[in-house]
């Protein structure tokens, strides 16, 4: 149908007529983050590797879109500017594509097909220029992150004696990974856990010995643990906070530039939280509750009664040192960025994690409430003491606060971080 016939048809039908072209919306941020989440699931990526992938995809999207804006903000990594009159949606899709085909080459045919379809739907004068700019940005992000310390994989050997984590664990190279946004992740590594002989340790010991005990069935505690457990093959804890952010952003109807900025802020904070979290685990090598409770007579604390047959409700000891809780640190970071970006922590939402029992969603009055539940779930599963949950939440909050205060700000006018980022 040609334009004149189309306009006449609208007029006869009593519908409004506009001479402005209707632009296609390929929803690049949502769609290409969906691919990133699927890549993490399919490759069974670790939480650290997942956070890095999400950050690279979203930094590329943000810098591609920001480089085409008239009022550009500070870049995440690639400064721009891009070509004039280029299509930002094409740039976003092409940037994400350029990252994913290099980090997840096994699924390249699917990525290629989706990018082809996206660009065909846009079909405008600025599409080719936008796609080329996005490709350049994505490739620049990959090049810049090459040699960032995320490989080769390193391990810490098993410890011995009271208070020490008893298994070797891998991924310790992440304690030295180059951050995306914070100046020095080591500044966010907390002080040590309570001394084994302290009353604070005894109190946390007693709590997890009851709440996390597999021999004391409780359907509610088990369901909460499972909801936030997010094992290998899921989107991992940073992926769930990305999903929460994308879901709220979609309902808020954010413009492309705002949605891209939210994705970059959120995933940079999550990735940099990894560095501080792994740093704490490597430094303190604290034992998990299963070992602690089974060997309670070796810790020098007269209040911690041993239970040699104790098993965690989660069904496993845990694969990394106990202090701090990584699930908690990611949750603290995710909730802080989202509350800061939206300027309030009272946005109610519902969400079903990848490990939600029966796929059932849960509702939350705000982001901090969800983070609090996620952190406590680790106590319910017998995986962590609550002091590690609280310290982890603090690590994430502190990292996120620095990211909000210093990243992706306006080049002129108000650039402070107060109630929310500017």
Integer Cα distance of 380 and 386 in angstroms: 10
Q: Where do the structural domains in the chain lie, given as residue ranges?
A: 26-145, 155-406
Q: What CA dihedral angle connects 56, 225, 306 and 156, to 10 degrees? A: -10
pLDDT of 202: 98
pLDDT, tens digit, 9 for 90 and up, residues 199-229:
999 999 999 999 999 999 999 999 999 999 9
pLDDT at 390 exceeding the cut of 50? yes
User: What are the two backbone dihedrals, phi and then psi, of residue 76, each rounded to the nearest 5 degrees?
Assistant: -80, -40
pLDDT, tens digit, 9 for 90 and up, residues 124-171:
899 999 999 999 999 999 999 999 999 999 999 999 999 999 999 999
In residues, how long is the chain? Answer: 422
* Lookup: tokens for 257: 């530039």
pLDDT of 411: 79
Integer Cα distance of 323 and 332 in angstroms: 15
pLDDT at 1 exceeding the cut of 90? no
* Lookup: tokens for 334: 């995710």
Residue listed under structure tokens 């309570």: 194
According to the 3-state scheme, what is the secondary structure of the chain? CCHHHHHHHHHHCCCCCCCCCCCCCCCHHHHHHHHHHHHHHHHCCCHHHHHHHHHHHHHHHHHHHHCCCCCCECCCCCCCCCCCCCCHHHHHHHHHHHHHHHHCHHHHHHHHHHHHHHHHHHCCCCHHHHHHHHHHHHHHHHHHHCCCCCCCCCEECCCCCCCECCCCEECHHHHHCCCCCCCCHHHHCCCCCCCCCCHHHHHHHHHHHHHCECCCCCHHHHHHHHHCCCCCCCCHHHHHHHHHHHHHHHHHCCCHHHHHHHHHHHHHHHHHHHHHHHHHHHHHCECCHHHHHHCHHHCCCCCCCCCCCCCECCCCCCCCCCCCCHHHHHHHHHHHHHHHHCCCCCCCEEECCCCCHHHCCEEECCHHHHHHHHHHHHHHCCCCCHHHHHHHHHHHHHHHHHHHHHCCCECCCCCCCCCCCC
Q: Which is the CATH superfamily of the domain at 26-145?
A: Phosphatidic acid phosphatase type 2/haloperoxidase (1.20.144.10)
Contacts of 25 (CB under 8 A, 6+ apart): 89
The average confidence (pLDDT) of the chain is 93
pLDDT at 239 exceeding the cut of 90? yes
pLDDT at 36 exceeding the cut of 50? yes
Give mean pLDDT, residues 354-379. Answer: 98
pLDDT of 422: 59
* Lookup: tokens for 192: 């040590």
Integer Cα distance of 129 and 65 in angstroms: 12
pTM above 0.75, yes or no: yes
6 burial type by CB count under 10 A (0-12 exposed, 13-18 middle, 19+ buried): exposed
Domain 155-406 in this protein, CATH class? mainly alpha
pLDDT of 414: 59
207 burial type by CB count under 10 A (0-12 exposed, 13-18 middle, 19+ buried): middle
User: For residue 81, is the peptide bond before it cis, meaning its omega torsion is within 30 degrees of 0?
Assistant: yes
pLDDT of 17: 43
* Lookup: tokens for 138: 């994505």
Max distance between CA atoms of the chain, in angstroms, equals: 88
């Amino acid at each position: 149908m040609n334009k004149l016939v189309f306009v006449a048809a609208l007029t006869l039908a009593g519908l409004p007529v506009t001479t402005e072209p209707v632009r296609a919306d390929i929803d690049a941020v949502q769609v290409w983050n969906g691919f990133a989440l699927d890549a993490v699931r399919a490759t069974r990526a670790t939480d650290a590797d997942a956070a890095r992938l999400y950050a690279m995809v979203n930094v590329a999207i943000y810098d591609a879109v920001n480089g085409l804006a008239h009022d550009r903000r500070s870049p995440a990594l690639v400064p721009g500017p891009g070509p004039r009159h280029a299509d930002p949606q094409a740039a976003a899709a092409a940037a994400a594509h350029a990252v994913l085909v290099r980090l997840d080459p096994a699924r390249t045919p699917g990525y290629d097909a989706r990018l082809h379809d996206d660009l065909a739907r846009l079909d405008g004068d600025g599409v080719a220029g936008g796609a080329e700019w996005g490709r350049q940005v994505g490739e620049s992000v990959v090049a810049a992150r090459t040699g960032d310390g995320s490989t080769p994989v390193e391990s810490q050997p098993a410890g011995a004696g009271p208070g020490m984590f008893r298994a070797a664990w891998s991924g310790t190279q992440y304690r030295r990974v180059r951050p995306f946004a914070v100046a020095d992740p080591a500044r966010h590594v907390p002080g040590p856990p309570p001394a084994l002989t302290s009353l604070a340790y005894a109190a946390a010991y007693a709590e997890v010995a009851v709440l996390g005990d597999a021999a004391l069935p409780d359907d509610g505690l088990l369901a909460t643990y499972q909801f936030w457990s997010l094992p290998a093959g899921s989107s991992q804890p940073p992926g769930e906070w990305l999903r929460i952010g994308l879901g709220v952003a979609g309902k808020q109807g954010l413009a492309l530039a705002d949605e891209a900025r939210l994705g970059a802020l959120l995933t940079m904070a999550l990735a940099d939280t990894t560095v501080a979290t792994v740093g704490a685990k490597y430094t303190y090598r604290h034992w998990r509750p299963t070992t602690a409770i089974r060997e309670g007579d070796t810790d020098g604390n007269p209040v911690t009664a041993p239970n040699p047959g104790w098993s965690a409700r989660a069904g496993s000891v845990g694969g990394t040192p106990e202090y701090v809780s990584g699930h908690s640190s990611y949750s603290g970071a995710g909730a802080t960025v989202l509350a800061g970006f939206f300027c309030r922590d009272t946005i109610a939402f519902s969400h079903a994690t990848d490990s939600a029992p029966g796929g059932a969603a849960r509702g939350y009055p705000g982001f901090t409430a969800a983070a609090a539940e996620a952190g406590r779930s680790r106590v319910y599963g017998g995986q962590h003491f609550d002091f590690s949950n609280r310290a982890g939440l603090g690590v994430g909050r502190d990292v996120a606060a620095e990211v909000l205060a210093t990243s992706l700000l306006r080049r002129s006018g108000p650039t402070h971080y107060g109630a929310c980022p500017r």
